[in-house]
Structure 1
């Protein structure tokens, strides 16, 4: 059943660092202000919806966020010569301070942070709010602020840390140390856990929950190499009994099975069949938008990026000597000859724009299946498939990694096999001929393999590479262009360098 969408309401405050004094000084005398708003429960709910709208925007989850995370991983390659220049630059590691993806995600994240700060600060001073409503709104705002800061610190390192909302460029901050940003995220997520419910009714699905705060905090700890605290948070998610692996793997990526028991947090989009709002900050949308992902990625769409040959080769197959071909391969990608459009149409080479892939030594066209509407559509279109940000399979695989790092290899193997035993997957249990698990290093190799095939194309691989590279766990560098001392981090956007005197050229990341 399709979910309800939160109306964004009238207060979509829009200040981000990098704007001009002229923009800041233009006030509409007929518009609401923070002095006249936040007087009722309805207003605080409307304002928190505006924070969700910023995450849903083109700058973030509706477009540039998934591109940036994917292009910084080894899961994708160019679908053809039509890949736009800024995206091709990111894919090949020649992006610079003016790259539009770098600017879009940075701006989008700070837009979320600003709107969240408005909610948090005004909830604390308003006397007209019901205490429980205000507490939940602040919990949601802190979760969304933490998510944004995690995206920033993991990809840019130390970044300006705004703990309250700013009203002029005079409030522009210097880069905070990476450790300080992580500490702030941890504090936000601990507070969010205490304020958020475990579940919502059907009208409020998609809001941040206690489990989402716990899972995000586990991600944050793991990214810092703190596996002890990460395990504690993961155990909370597991012990809650709220989540489970669904039987059908594909149910995690289509429209009809959104908010299933495996979903921990997903970003809402309107039902397919509407229109796409190209506004970067989700301003001007009366009730939300679709995502352009299915059009960008699908075989009958623009097909701007496709699965990389290395990802396709990662799956276990009988052609490679494995005991079974992993069903997640065919559930993640389309191959020429597959049926789509409710099994009414056969996919041909001709309809798939662009390049071919090499699989088992053979050249063939492969396109993304995950998060695309091809399963029920015969034409290129934008769509309303919710973006699953966190799901329970990741929890189980993260617990496997924690257990392995903490010396419990047997427990790690048990968790790995839980994911493989999903009825629609039913892969042989570890150990296998190609994945022995007698040592800690062998178990880590199985974890890396399992995370890649299970979570492929879900914007997680980038964070995995960043974490394992930083911890010295990568046997080989996954990115062919990688230059040590440069490509660990993205460049601070040129607009921030130009407009924020507390950063300036001296505050740029190395190599840019």
Structure 2
């Protein structure tokens, strides 16, 4: 029988609280150990765990601990965040390390599967940006993040690679792109998992829910200033909540959070149906338990409505 969700969260929280007590700060690691888990990584992940439970005070406190630790800063140029030269850089809180060469293989197929498909391409063309995402960037006037997130058909990349006008899809995920990857299975580039901009947005969301619009707005400003977007000024809690959610989408596109954000904020049905995807409330928020797992542990039971 499955234990309640709250019990699982308790286990995760205790693990992270224990880790915070024993892990060093990022600055305390020797350069050869850069990339190992840090106190800041545990604090940042714990802030996110509390965010998902709507434990706003704890989400705020742990996000604030990371921001005020002096260990991290925002990368000045948004477009540089996913490039090889900024791995484990100033904004990085935790990332998957990937040398991408034998004997230490890289992240298997991450760049390959998301690369452009067709003439001049280097990949399979999976996980492509939607027109809806492009429209969201354009509606915001968000040119910097749009062009750092999306590879467009016919574009000349920052490293000189020309993307043919004949590739199969009009757009591809630039955050998965690596100059060194010409279609090999092993990717050489680290995958960013937690970075400081997200922690600002966690603090913004928690602060707004706690009625502290000043910190919510100042946190949002940090993220928007970098990409030359205007200051948000509303103190209306509902309106500001939705603006923070939108900011997460634009800032963190293709960073493995969008689906889970849609589910936790109750926007999944609306977002999926707007893109012509079938979505049943009370069913599609969860994946089905695989049949092989049910055979092994029948007491587990299938998820609702599957």
Measure the CA separation in 1 of the matches of 2:176 and 2:89. 15
The structural deviation recorded for 1:501 is 4.5
Corresponding residue for residue 201 of structure 2 = 397
Give secondary structure in 1 for the equivalent of 2:223.
helix
Establish whether residue 262 from structure 1 lines up as the match of residue 91 from structure 2: yes
Corresponding residue for residue 25 of structure 2 = 198
Corresponding residue for residue 253 of structure 1 = 82
1:127-142 equivalences in 2 (<5 Å): none
The structural deviation recorded for 1:465 is 1.2
Establish whether residue 184 from structure 1 lines up as the match of residue 11 from structure 2: yes
- Find 2:40's aligned residue among 211, 218, 237: 211
> Is residue 50–residue 59 contact of structure 2 (8 Å, CA) maintained in 1?
yes
Corresponding residue for residue 349 of structure 1 = 165
Greater Rg by CA? 1
- Find 1:381's aligned residue among 160, 176, 184: 184
Corresponding residue for residue 458 of structure 1 = 255
Give structure 1 regions of 4+ aligned residues with deviation exceeding 6 angstroms. none
> Is residue 192–residue 213 contact of structure 1 (8 Å, CA) maintained in 2?
yes
Measure the CA separation in 2 of the matches of 1:509 and 1:501. 12
- Find 1:417's aligned residue among 206, 221, 237: 221
Measure the CA separation in 1 of the matches of 2:279 and 2:14. 33
Counterparts in 2 of 1:196 and 1:366: CA distance versus 1, 3 Å:
same
Counterparts in 2 of 1:259 and 1:378: CA distance versus 1, 3 Å:
closer
- For normalisation by structure 2, the TM-score amounts to 0.90
Q: Higher relative CO (CA 8 A, sep ≥ 6), structure 1 or 2?
A: 1
Establish whether residue 368 from structure 1 lines up as the match of residue 173 from structure 2: yes
> Is residue 268–residue 285 contact of structure 2 (8 Å, CA) maintained in 1?
no
The structural deviation recorded for 1:234 is 0.8
Give secondary structure in 1 for the equivalent of 2:128.
strand
> Is residue 326–residue 427 contact of structure 1 (8 Å, CA) maintained in 2?
no
Deviations 1:304-327, CA, capped at 9 Å, x for gaps = 221011111111x3xx5x6x4431
Corresponding residue for residue 152 of structure 1 = none
Counterparts in 2 of 1:180 and 1:335: CA distance versus 1, 3 Å:
same
Deviations 1:426-482, CA, capped at 9 Å, x for gaps = 222224xxxxx241111112101111010000001122112111xxxx496212221
Corresponding residue for residue 15 of structure 1 = none
1:7-22 equivalences in 2 (<5 Å): none
Establish whether residue 406 from structure 1 lines up as the match of residue 210 from structure 2: yes
Corresponding residue for residue 226 of structure 1 = 55
- Find 1:429's aligned residue among 217, 231, 244: 231
Corresponding residue for residue 508 of structure 1 = 302
Measure the CA separation in 2 of the matches of 1:207 and 1:488. 33
Give secondary structure in 2 for the equivalent of 1:186.
helix
Counterparts in 2 of 1:387 and 1:378: CA distance versus 1, 3 Å:
closer
Measure the CA separation in 2 of the matches of 1:386 and 1:413. 31
Q: Note the aligned Cα RMSD (angstroms).
A: 1.9
The structural deviation recorded for 1:371 is 2.2
Unaligned runs of at least 5 residues, structure 2:
none
Measure the CA separation in 1 of the matches of 2:79 and 2:158. 16
Corresponding residue for residue 295 of structure 1 = 112
Give secondary structure in 2 for the equivalent of 1:389.
strand
Number of equivalences: 294
Deviations 1:254-311, CA, capped at 9 Å, x for gaps = 122100010000011114xx36xxxxxxxxxx53433311111122211122101111
Counterparts in 2 of 1:204 and 1:378: CA distance versus 1, 3 Å:
closer
Corresponding residue for residue 66 of structure 1 = none
- For normalisation by structure 1, the TM-score amounts to 0.55
Give secondary structure in 2 for the equivalent of 1:385.
coil
Deviations 1:63-98, CA, capped at 9 Å, x for gaps = xxxxxxxxxxxxxxxxxxxxxxxxxxxxxxxxxxxx
Deviations 1:137-191, CA, capped at 9 Å, x for gaps = xxxxxxxxxxxxxxxxxxxxxxxxxxxxxxxxxxxxx311111101111111111
> Is residue 20–residue 39 contact of structure 2 (8 Å, CA) maintained in 1?
yes
More helix by share: 2
Measure the CA separation in 2 of the matches of 1:208 and 1:379. 30
Give secondary structure in 2 for the equivalent of 1:306.
coil
